[in-house]
Structure formats: C-alpha cells, structure tokens
Amino acid sequence: MQNVNAINIGEIKEEPKVNYLTNGFTLKSWLLTKDHKRIAILYLITVSAFFALGGIYASLIRLELLTPASDLLQSATYNRTFTQHGIIMVFFFLIPSIPAILGNFLIPIMIGAKDLAFPRINLLSWYFYMAGGGLTLYALLQGGVDTGWTFYTPYSTTFSNSYVMAVGLGIFINGFSSILTGLNFIVTIHTMRAPGMTWFRMPLFVWAHYATSLVMILGTPVIAITILLLALERIAKVGIFDPAIGGDPILFQHLFWFYSHPAVYIMILPGMGVISELISNFSRKKIFGYEFIAFSSIAIAVFGFLVWGHHMFVSGQSVYAGLVFSFLTMVVSVPSAIKVFNWSATLYKGQISYDTPMLYALFFIGLFLIGGLTGLFLGSIGLTVHLTDTYFIVAHFHYVMVGGQVLAYLGGLHYWWSKITGKMYSEFWSKIAAIIIFVGFNLTFFPQFILGYMGMPRRYASYPAEFQVLNIFSTAGASILAIGLIIPLIYLTYSIFFGAKAPANPWVLPGLEWRTSSPPPTENFEETPIVTWEAYEFGEESGLDLEDARSKYKVTV
C-alpha cells in the first residue's frame, strides 16, 4: 500500500524505463500484442476511422435534405446512404466505442489487474471486428445496402437487390467481437480484482461495463441467429419471414429488436459509466448514492431485455402486447432518472473544476435529459402512434446516442488522454471544440423534434416544401457539428507529437489508474496495488498528498 501511495502525485518518483507504448516498435509488436492497452489503441484507430466514414455519410444525408427535392442524391443513393450511416455508426462505432477502447484500456487498471482475463481472446475480438468491418466495407464499395439498418423483411429477404448478405455476414462476424469482449470483461471483473478491491469499491465505470457485458453476452447471439435465418430465407428460400413463402415478417421484428433494443443500452450504459467518473472526480467528492447508480445500471440491463416491443407499436402486434410493452418502457425510465438525480446531487457542496471532461459531462446531462424525456413521449403508446417513423424518433435517438454516448466518449477520451498517450492536449482548443459540438448538435437535432411532430416521415429522400426551413437549420447545425468534431482530431493528434508530457496524476485523483505512470508500464503497476480506500475517496484514506500536489501544480501546468 505504501509504495502505491508513494507514486500518486504529480511526477512519479521513478519513471519506468519502458512503458506499454515504448515496449516494442515493430508492426508485429502491435498486431500480435496481447496487451489490453495496445489492443485498445488498435480499436481507437479503427473505430475512429469508422466514425469518420459514418460522419461522411451523415454529411451527405444532411446536404441532400437541404432542399425538398431529391436532387443531390437520387433516391437509390440516398437510401443506401442512410442505411450505411446507420450500420456503420451502430455496429462499428457506437457499440465498440467506449467498451472496446476506454473499457479495454481502463478496466484492468481500475481494478488493479495486469491485463484482462483472456488476453488472446481480447486480440481475437479485435480481429473479428476487423473482419466484420472489412466485409462491410467491401459490400459498401460494391454498391452497399438499401434496406435501412433494421433490415426489415420481406424487403431485405425478397425485394432488395443490394449487398444484404455481405453486410449481414459482416455484422454477424462483428457480433463475436462484442460477445468475446463482454465475456472477457465479466470474467476479469469477477476474478482479477486486486486485494482490497471489493465490488463496492469499484469505480462506477466498471459497474457500467459489467452491466453492458451482460447485455452483450445475452443479446448478441440473438442478432446472430436472426441474421442466419435471414440468410436462410434469402439464399435457400426457406419461408421464415416472407409471407409469400409461408413466413411472418413480424417475427423478424421481434427477433431483431430483442437484440437491438438491449443494444441501445450497450451503447448508452458505458457512457453513463464515464459520466459517473467525470462528475465525481471533477467535483472532488464521493458520488452521491453509489449503490443506487451501480444497481440502476444492472436494472437497466435487465429491464432492457423486456421492452423490445415498443419498437413495434404500429406494426400490428396485439393491443394488449402494446400496452404491456408501453408499461415496461415507463418502468425502465426510472433507473435512468435515478442516475441523473444522483449526478446532479453529487455536485452539491463539491469543489468543481471546469476542465474539458467536466464540460462534456455537463453537456451530457443536459442532452441526455432531453433524449430521455422524449423517450417518454415515445414510450407512451397513444402518442407514439403519431410519432413513430417520423423525425421525432430520429431526433430522440440522436439525442441519446450522439448527445449521450458520443459526448461521454469524447469526455472520457479527454479525461484519460493523458493516461493513454502520456501527453496533455490543449485545454483552450478542447473547450472551444466542446462548445462548438454542443451548439452544433442542438441546432442539428432539435429542429427534428418539431419536424417529427409536424409529421415528416424518416428515410425520405424528398419531402414537402413546408418542412424546408427546419431542415435548413438542421443542415446548418450539422456543418457546425462537423467542424466541432474535426477540431479534436487535430489538437489530439498534435498533442501526441508535440504535447506537454503528462504527469502520472494531472488532476490529483484517487482512482487506481492515476496511481501508475502515464503511460502505464506494460504490466500496469510495478507492484500489485492493495486497495484500502473507497471509490472516489478524497479524504485522508485516499493517501493523496494535496499540499505536495499544489506545489507541483504550478510547475507542471
């Protein structure tokens, strides 16, 4: 314990000669690495590339919708564009983003382990991701898919002439990446916690990932099965979904949403985990209601499996099924509300600093509030009959996915950037970018709520002229958002080469990840830490030497 505390402030006393980044420079040392931190870097690079590609598709969509007529993109191209935007963003960006990058990097460090439980499987899951992504990219280059990311039958099985099977196979393979990552996290959290790291001393980031992993393991096989059935019908003409050959198209929707609704929680739970970290650490006090936040993650994961039917309120399921799903959807809103209240209460009597990650956390709460509350509109079955399949839905899930998950991801990336790269980013530019993103995001998606209530259907290449003004706002917002997202790419990349060297613990925080050097050595800690403090412990018990930190603060920053 003593030696752990000894290295917690500012510059570590003895910088390790080799850290995980300098431990091997060959391509092989990266591509065959078993180090969870290096695998996280591999994910960071590839996931960012997919994010950029998905973003290009998004820009094309917004440009097309600048005018009512389908002029920039013809319908055929537009349909492929929004489909590919959805597929890439959901399967190759949102789902892996926080778990596979930040989770991979931080979970072992946060619980005081040397690596994940199965390092080789961890590497394998990245290769599954690459194989699935590669196949999908191949299909996109060949001409892409036009079914919507939801692959609704019988359009996807019988009518579409696009590359449904190639993309389906890509998603199928990519699913194994999710399953293996989830498995790895669960086993690691169960078996590899450092001495003294009890379940209720774990950072909430780890709890959130535990809940996420449960969903990954239990949900992903269902989408795999669904894709297999889809292939069976498309290739072998076995009647499963197409009524013309004896199938039932609604069955597909049940199977698809049985996975894809929980998948929404795969996308948002890790983000909630990041926000818990940011709020608590930048208020420099214990998080309010630790157990409630931890268990609300588990509750969300469990209830998340029971609400898939709310995607099908108008698709001909029985009235009573609709009512039950609406009821359960209302119930699942409660644990999310609990989190928001606890985060807000954490700020009370804190010592709040306005660093960039905290700015993202603040924006997250605001946007997640709107995203969550509009979820109530859509869960209310009588209202959603009007709202579903309109831009209201589009706005709602972008508020949760982009306003929620992407901002949490960016906040987390900034927060742990110094730990991952060993370099400091520009505080000035990062603040500017965060504000631009916030403004651009709202301008893009808020008008879409209004468009949705007005009745503009989603997935329309052309639309009636009365909707144009709001669409122009939205497109203008999207350009601002794009600029906001390009700026971090520049200053973060710049920081890798020219940034100031980061101290081990730039914000003087108590988490285990701040008690090793930046970047950490390959084995994470020189010696296995012994944990004697609670999560987010800023008092005496934490062993933080604040006087020492203050004296060094002026020097290092």
Partner 1 sequence: MQQNSWVPIFPEQASTFAWEVDMLYFYLLLISAFFIVGIVAAILFFFVKYREKEKFATGEEIHGSIALETVWSIIPFIISMTIFLGGAIIYFNQYRPPADTMDIYVVGKQWMWKLQHETGQREINELHVPVGRNVKLTMTTEDVLHDFYIPAFRTKADVIPGRYTTLWFNATKPGKYHLYCAEYCGLNHSGMGGWIYVMEQRDFDNWLSGNVSGQTPVQAGQDLFQNKLGCASCHQGGANQRGAKIEGIYNTDIKLTTGQTVKADDEYIRNSILNPASQIVEGYQPIMPTYKGQVTEEQLVSLVAYIKSLSGGANKTNAGGSTPTAPTGGSSTTNNANTTGMIPPRADRGDSTSPGSNPNAPPSRSEPTNQQNK
Nearer to partner 1, 8 or 23 (CB): 8
Nearer to partner 1, 354 or 428 (CB): 354
Nearest-approach distance from CB 268 to partner 1, in angstroms: 17
Nearest-approach distance from CB 290 to partner 1, in angstroms: 7
Task: State how far the Cα of 206 lies from the Cα of 273, in Å rounded to an integer.
Answer: 7
Nearer to partner 1, 30 or 292 (CB): 292
Nearer to partner 1, 88 or 485 (CB): 88
**3-state secondary structure string across 169-238:** HHHHHHHHHHHHHHHHHHHHHHHCCCCCCCHHHCCHHHHHHHHHHHHHHHHHHHHHHHHHHHHHHHHHCC
Report yes or no: 94 and 405 within 8 Å, Cβ to Cβ.
yes
Nearest-approach distance from CB 146 to partner 1, in angstroms: 7
Nearer to partner 1, 166 or 470 (CB): 470
Nearer to partner 1, 61 or 135 (CB): 61
Q: Which tokens is 208 given?
A: 């959130």
Report yes or no: 50 and 93 within 8 Å, Cβ to Cβ.
yes
Report yes or no: 356 and 434 within 8 Å, Cβ to Cβ.
yes
Nearer to partner 1, 17 or 554 (CB): 554
Residue with tokens 């709040």: 352
Is the backbone of residue 520 left (phi > 0), alpha (psi -120 to 50) or beta?
A: beta
Task: State how far the Cα of 290 lies from the Cα of 296, in Å rounded to an integer.
Answer: 10
Nearer to partner 1, 330 or 487 (CB): 330
Q: Which tokens is 377 given?
A: 């509109």
**Of 346, 369, 331, 209, nearest in space to 289 by CA:** 346
Nearer to partner 1, 341 or 494 (CB): 341
Nearest-approach distance from CB 503 to partner 1, in angstroms: 13
Helix or strand run (H / E) with residue 125: helix 119-142
Task: State how far the Cα of 511 lies from the Cα of 534, in Å rounded to an integer.
Answer: 10
Task: State how far the Cα of 271 lies from the Cα of 204, in Å rounded to an integer.
Answer: 11
Q: Cα dihedral angle (362, 366, 371, 374), rounded to 10 degrees?
A: 160
The whole-angstrom distance between residue 5's C-alpha and the CA centroid of its chain comes to: 32
Nearer to partner 1, 451 or 485 (CB): 451
Q: How many CB atoms lie within 10 A of CB 547?
A: 9
Nearest-approach distance from CB 346 to partner 1, in angstroms: 8
Nearest-approach distance from CB 85 to partner 1, in angstroms: 14
Nearest-approach distance from CB 537 to partner 1, in angstroms: 9
Is the backbone of residue 24 left (phi > 0), alpha (psi -120 to 50) or beta?
A: left
Nearest-approach distance from CB 477 to partner 1, in angstroms: 15
Nearer to partner 1, 118 or 377 (CB): 377
- Residues near 99 by Cβ (< 8 Å), separated by ≥ 6? 181, 182, 185, 209, 212, 213, 216, 266, 270
Nearest-approach distance from CB 350 to partner 1, in angstroms: 4
Residue with tokens 């949403």: 257
Nearest-approach distance from CB 487 to partner 1, in angstroms: 24
Nearer to partner 1, 12 or 378 (CB): 378
Nearer to partner 1, 355 or 513 (CB): 355
Nearest-approach distance from CB 67 to partner 1, in angstroms: 8
Q: Cα dihedral angle (39, 94, 311, 360), rounded to 10 degrees?
A: 130
Nearest-approach distance from CB 17 to partner 1, in angstroms: 29
**158-175 in b/e burial notation, b at 16+ Cβ within 10 A?**
bebebbbbbbbbbbbbbb
DSSP 380: S
Nearest-approach distance from CB 102 to partner 1, in angstroms: 24
